[in-house]
Copies of this chain bind each other. A is one copy, B any other.
Amino acid sequence: MTALVLGHKNPDTDSIVSAISAANLYRERGIDAVAAAQGAPAPETAFVLKQFGLEAPEVVTSVAGKDVYLVDYSDLAQAPADFSGCKLLGIVDHHKLGDVTSDCPLECWIQPVGCCNTILKLMYDYFGVKVPEKIAGAMLCAILSDTVLFKSPTCTDADRKAAAELAEIAGVKDVEALGMEMFKAKSNLNASPRDLIFRDFKDFDMSGKKVGIGQLELISLAMVTPELKAELKAELARVKAEGRHTAILVLTDIMKEGSELLVVSDAEDTVRKALNADANSWMAGVMSRKKQVVPPLQLAFKA
């Protein structure tokens, strides 16, 4: 049976490129596998795929009866609804360990680095498999995206090393310029407030409370007009009303290196305090949802 290599809901660039690069590596190892995604590419990912001549993975939202490898997550909330009916064969991830379990022994490559594709580069090297040129370019972009041009506190030496080696393989001379082009594509605000919130959105179970957190990384927050901000806030209230304790949108200014917090919650003060937001909802230095938003919230909700 062909195994599916599947990224998370609301796929970002790392999730989609990980599925492509992991599926290629599994095939090179003799495992029948194909890349899949739980949604269509967002603008940033579309730019990356086009830039390197890659096709978007097949969209898959049901996995019952299938063999599955997960990339870039290990949370049931980010998996298809019928996940318990699949056979989990492996995980490649760089997040906290989630609540996914397996019925059989499996392979997990989980490392505390800035990007899932950094781990995949290490795996290519471990198995002695050459990264194809096009895939190397996309993997480089995934690292630039996840580490926000190496500026995120999640960025490690392993990410910088993998990026340099992938740039070499892909023949990318000006990594910085490629990254800026990609973030310009990402800063596309031509979408409904709902689509903007869900473009990179994840639900977390925090001590029994469902907390949804979206993030928009922009070249400049000046792009978000007061009107758009009001629309986003109104839509966030609807997102919260759909069974969540808290709905958050983190608006990240990648050049100013900080984020503005939009929040609708049953415990708004707890959230603002946990995230150290100032009177203008500005969180100086906050670039990473995974490292600077999720852990303090989890702690706050545990208390």
Interface size range of chain A in the complex: 20 to 34
Q: Does A108 contact B (CB under 8 A)?
A: yes
Contact with A107, one of B107, B110, B295 (Cβ below 8 angstroms): B110
How many copies make up the complex?
A: 2
Contact with A105, one of B91, B106, B112 (Cβ below 8 angstroms): B112
Q: How far is the CA of A99 from the CA of B76 in the complex (A)?
A: 11
Contact across chains for A101 and B97 when beta carbons are under 8 A apart: yes
Contact across chains for B102 and A106 when beta carbons are under 8 A apart: no
Contact across chains for B101 and A94 when beta carbons are under 8 A apart: no
Contact across chains for B108 and A298 when beta carbons are under 8 A apart: no
A105 — which chain B residues lie within 8 A by C-beta? 94-96, 111-113, 154, 290-291
Interface string of A100-125 (1 = CB under 8 A from B): 11111111111111000000000000
Q: How far is the CA of A106 from the CA of B101 in the complex (A)?
A: 16
Q: A106-B110, A110-B107 known; A98 and B101 CB under 8 Å? A: yes
A126 — which chain B residues lie within 8 A by C-beta? 126
Contact across chains for B99 and A106 when beta carbons are under 8 A apart: no
A112 — which chain B residues lie within 8 A by C-beta? 104-107
Q: Does A271 contact B (CB under 8 A)?
A: no
Q: How far is the CA of A291 from the CA of B290 in the complex (A)?
A: 35
Interface string of A143-154 (1 = CB under 8 A from B): 000000000001
Contact across chains for A102 and B97 when beta carbons are under 8 A apart: yes
A296 to chain B, nearest CB (A): 10
Q: Does A88 contact B (CB under 8 A)?
A: yes
Q: Identify the A interface with B (CB < 8 A).
A: 88, 91, 94-113, 126, 154, 290-291, 295, 298-299
